[in-house]
Amino acid sequence: AQSVSQHNHHVILSEAASLELGCNYSYGGTVNLFWYVQYPGQHLQLLLKYFSGDPLVKGIKGFEAEFIKSKFSFNLRKPSVQWSDTAEYFCAVNAAGGATNKLIFGTGTLLAVQP
């Protein structure tokens, strides 16, 4: 069965600090990978996704993620965070070419950026 692990449950950073949020998945086949963000009081929004090709994926708002197949990882990065990045971040995976498009989510990382 597929599973997703996000090891950082709470992260507190100062503005301009660099961010890296860990995500590891468990699945033996080919996967599609996603990072979603949920700002306070808002719905889940897609930050970026990886289907195939260049393992370094660039998303919105200066975020990027790198797919490392050998490590089953898809870590999210941002070189300089802003106060407005305060939100909860979810990593998700689904089986590429599977019968369903079911997303398996991690437990989320709550990021607080201090001005």
Partner 1 sequence: EAEVAQSPRYKITEKSQAVAFWCDPISGHATLYWYRQILGQGPELLVQFQDESVVDDSQLPKDRFSAERLKGVDSTLKIQPAELGDSAMYLCASSLGRGGTTYGYTFGSGTRLTVV
Which residues of the shown chain bind partner 1 in the complex (CB under 8 A)? 4, 32, 36, 42-46, 49, 51, 90, 92, 94, 96-103, 105-108
The residue (of 79 and 98) whose beta carbon lies closer to partner 1 is 98
Beta bridge partners of residue 58, listed in sequence order: 64
Alpha-carbon torsion (101, 66, 48, 114), positive or negative: positive
Closest Cα to residue 35, out of 25, 43, 23? 23
Q: By C-beta, is 63 or 90 nearer to partner 1?
A: 90
Residue 7 to residue 10: CA distance in whole angstroms: 9
Q: What residues contact residue 11 under an 8 Å CB cut-off, 6+ apart?
A: 19, 21, 109, 110, 111, 112
Shortest distance in whole angstroms from residue 89 CB to partner 1: 10
Q: Which is nearer to partner 1, 51 or 79 (CB)?
A: 51
- Burial group, residue 21, by CB count within 10 angstroms (0-12, 13-18, 19+): buried
Question: Nearest distance from residue 15's CB to partner 1, in Å?
Answer: 26
Give 6 or 85: the residue with its C-beta nearer to partner 1: 6
How far apart are CB 74 and partner 1 at their closest, in Å? Answer: 14
**Distance of closest approach, residue 5 Cβ to partner 1, in angstroms:** 11
